[in-house]
Amino acid sequence: MQHVTLNNGVQMPILGFGVYQIPPEQTEQAVTEALAAGYRLLDTAAAYQNEAAVGRALRNSGIPREELFLTTKLWIQDAPAQEHTRRAFEASLNKLGVEYLDLYLMHQPYGDVYGQWRAMEDLHREGRIKAIGVANFHPDRLVDLIINNEVAPAVNQIETHPFFQRTADQEVMRGRGVQIQSWGGFAEGRNDLFTNPLLSGIGEKHGKSVAQVALRWLIQRGIVAIPKSVRAERMAENIDVFDFALTDDQMAAIATLDTGTSLFFDHRDPEIADWLGKRRLDD
């Protein structure tokens, strides 16, 4: 497994396993099979409502905690945000059954972002989180957060796939020492990604699937990926991407697929801001 070095020296696997949209009743088995396949980076969130299932799989795996890289995410907190953030962190830790997190991300760029971030900074200083970061932050909001706080985000997890490549965003992050991480690396199959002629043709030349080509493309750009699957054979396929490399010409060809537009939703859309910003978790 390859690793990236975060801006505070923490080592993070470049490929992990995500559990977004895996129902809680299927999550424990999925994580168990992912760990058996060799994944050590696991990505969940309070909003996914499957942290407890992830925790059970971790405890039953027998894998030492220090060999795992565990990420979860903070949902939007009501005021006072610093107090509520700490409470949300404790709830996630209890569900996961661990004493610390490797990475804690602010899930959305809404609400009292600064109050939430400063609570995360406090938890980081206390040694309860090895690294803190954000998700879904556009470059302007990311830079604003950096210049107005003591700790810069180690990671920004954003929608990144062949149809929305985020190259300009990545350059801003690189300049500020922030690691880009992809969510939706397969675009959830939209735009017929899995049958795309260009990606299929590249895959045939390497004896690899379209999914493997998409992941290899992310890895060669230095982007951390967290593919999701509930099928053990797909998990094994997705992690089998370190024995080939895309050529410069193939990377350039994939670059032509970029539409520059989200296939899901725009965090700068007022309706999206209203919808996400008002959502609260049951617990």
- Catalytic positions are 48
Q: How many residues are present in the chain? A: 283
DSSP line for 227-280: ---S-HHHHHHHH--SS----HHHHHHHHTT--SS-SS--TTSHHHHHHHHT--
Q: Where are the beta strands (DSSP E) in the chain?
A: 3-5, 11-13, 17-18, 41-43, 69-74, 101-106, 129-135, 155-159, 179-183, 224-225
Query: How far, in Å, CA of 199 to CA of 186, rounded?
Result: 12
Instruction: Report how far apart, in Å, the C-alpha atoms of 242 and of each of 22, 60, 239, 253 are.
Output: 26, 28, 8, 20
